Amino acid sequence: MSTTHTFRHRHKIHFSECDPAGIVFYPQYFVLFNDLIERWVDALLPDGYHGVIGARRLGMPTVHLEVDFKAISRFGDEVWLELEVVRVGSKSITLAWRCTGADGELRMAATQTIVMTSLDTHLAISVPDDLRAAIEHGPALADRPSPETTV
């Protein structure tokens, strides 16, 4: 399954995300994109990411990640963080990430595969039906963006 919608969030690069040279310290991108995944699931499901992880005890660990760093992001830069669904498998979801500057310059891009797991057994499980349906119909269900988030 492939989708054409993109979940976007505007972000201002914070001092705490930068190294002494004043540019984003590369591991911080992974934190920013994990936060974006939380916002995305919050927009898709009524109980949000907390409900998936906390109440339902489902994990979404990364099992594969490919990253390209294209240009630097500096302290104070306004950027767009974007997430696009590439594929939903039986037990995994593949996402494409992009960070672009306000000027449209691509700063970094990645492809991430996450697998659904039980937090009790730590074994892979099927992508829940409600999450699969929400992803497939994402634009309609996620059409409640915060002022800085767009779908």
Q: Is the dihedral of CA 125, 123, 118, 110 positive or negative?
A: negative
Q: Which domain holds residue 29?
A: 1-58+91-98+128-151
Whether 76 maps to a domain, the answer reads no
Give the sheet arrangement for strand 92-101, strand by strand: 62-69, 106-115, 92-101, 78-88, 6-12, 149-150
Whether 42 maps to a domain, the answer reads yes
Whether 4 maps to a domain, the answer reads yes
Q: What is the pLDDT of residues 64-85, one digit of tens each?
A: 999 999 999 999 999 999 999 9
What's the pTM?
0.86
Q: Which two tokens stand for residue 150?
A: 């767009």
What's the domain count of the chain? 1
Whether 78 maps to a domain, the answer reads no
- pLDDT digit of tens for each residue in the chain (151 aa)? 444 578 999 999 999 999 999 999 999 999 999 999 999 999 999 999 999 999 999 999 999 999 999 999 999 999 999 999 999 999 999 999 999 999 999 999 999 999 999 999 999 999 999 999 999 986 443 334 444 455 5
| DSSP symbol at 53 | I
